[in-house]
Amino acid sequence: MVGISFGTIKSLLLFAGPILLPKAIGYYRSQRAAPQAHGLTIRPVPPNVSRALTILFIASLAFLIKTFPIFTTPSLFTLTQSRLLIPTDVLFTRLHALRPNGFTPQDESLRSTFASREMRLLYLKYGPETITECPFCNPEDPASYLYYSILSITIPHLFNLGIIALVTSNLFIGKETNIWRGRATILAGAIAVFDIFIVARWNHSNNSTAPRLEDIDHFYWNMQLYRNIALAAFDGLIGWCLYLSSTNRAFLAPPTTAEKIETTTRIIEQARGKLNGVALMRNATVRDKELRKIVEEYWVREATVMREVLETREVVDGVRNALDGRLDLVQVQRDAEGFTEAVLGGGNVIA
């Protein structure tokens, strides 16, 4: 479309493939291993992310449906099976046979412009709407048709950019998708710029040497097809990334310092609440005579049972065999002293 041959593409792939492919595989594997590195487990798709995936699926499906011929105005040359240099009268005689209700206003406008070979070439590049509706375009200035067609080229991209902004909105969806907002926006803008670049670089005179219908490059219609497929694939790619990141399968964003502090504070508060509950239960047990008596009886009975168990022959032999030659009394004493010092604050105990 822009003069890049298959041989050039093949040479670039052969040169860059061995360098980029291992890096891509390594990056993908590192992203897949990120959940285990952060101690996270795979989870189901959150409800808010599921809503975003539904929107992206509908958008992708809409772009794919737009590729159907019923939603596109066909080329007159394809519709009438005519070559590029066919006389205008013959072309529209064939077209009249296909229009039982007569010519449309667009057909009438094209009939007056198709007398020029240059206009036919511009028609194949910019389509019928630009040729018939542009009020300032001039065949002597082909760039004027590009200026007019930029709006129609960018409308699908702007619509898709709005979809991306919606599904990555922190307010509407949540932070699970917001991490992709910047990258998705940049990529969507790059696709739009690349689309305009292709249209601007393609030389409409390439069709001037096409003697047969099969040799004509219907650039405008091909670009419509490629544009919709690219946008559908882009939305599918964004949906796939949202699915992987929201389910902790890949592309994890490390928690920020504020999030770590918040998580740690929440854990400490939960532990403090449990300790307060235990303290209240202990306080109630000690202050109540009946409960205190039950607790004392339990611990007396517990001590008796454990003493009887530890005095049995089998337990004594088992403990001796397990600890024989393996117990370092010096290390045990050192650990006990360290634990006591840590609990009592370095030995600052009130006697």
At 204, phi and psi to the nearest 5?
Answer: -70, -15
β-bridge mates for residue 141, sequence order: 138
Task: State which residues of the chain have pLDDT below 50.
Answer: 1-3, 347-351
Residue 40, SS3 per DSSP? coil
Expressed in angstroms, the distance from the first to the final Cα of the chain is 91
User: What does the pLDDT read at residue 2?
Assistant: 45
User: What does the pLDDT read at residue 124?
Assistant: 92
Q: Which amino acid is located at 312 in the chain?
A: T
At 115, phi and psi to the nearest 5?
Answer: -65, -20
Q: Which amino acid is located at 147 in the chain?
A: Y
CA atoms of 165 and 146, how far apart (whole Å): 28
User: Is the C-alpha dihedral spanning 290, 292, 296, 301 positive or negative?
Assistant: positive
| Span 69-119, pLDDT tens digits | 888 888 899 989 989 888 989 989 898 888 888 888 888 888 888 888 899
The closest alpha carbon to 103, from 85, 124, 117, 88, belongs to 88
pTM of the model: 0.68
Q: Name the DSSP letter for residue 172.
A: T
β-bridge mates for residue 138, sequence order: 141
User: What are all long-range contacts of 145-152, with beta carbons under 8 Å and residues at least 24 apart?
Assistant: 146/199, 146/200, 149/199, 150/196
Query: How long is the chain?
Result: 351
Contacts of 264 (CB under 8 A, 6+ apart): none
User: What does the pLDDT read at residue 174?
Assistant: 78
According to DSSP H, which parts of the chain are helical?
Answer: 6-37, 47-65, 76-80, 88-98, 105-113, 117-133, 143-167, 175-178, 181-201, 219-246, 257-287, 289-310, 313-323, 329-344
CA atoms of 76 and 93, how far apart (whole Å): 12
User: What does the pLDDT read at residue 349?
Assistant: 43
Contacts of 142 (CB under 8 A, 6+ apart): 122, 204
User: What does the pLDDT read at residue 38?
Assistant: 60
User: What does the pLDDT read at residue 236?
Assistant: 95
> DSSP letter string over 81-147?
T--TT--HHHHHHHHHHH-TT---HHHHHHHHHTTSHHHHHHHHHHHHHHHHH-SS-BTTBTHHHHH
CB 145 within 8 A of CB 137: yes
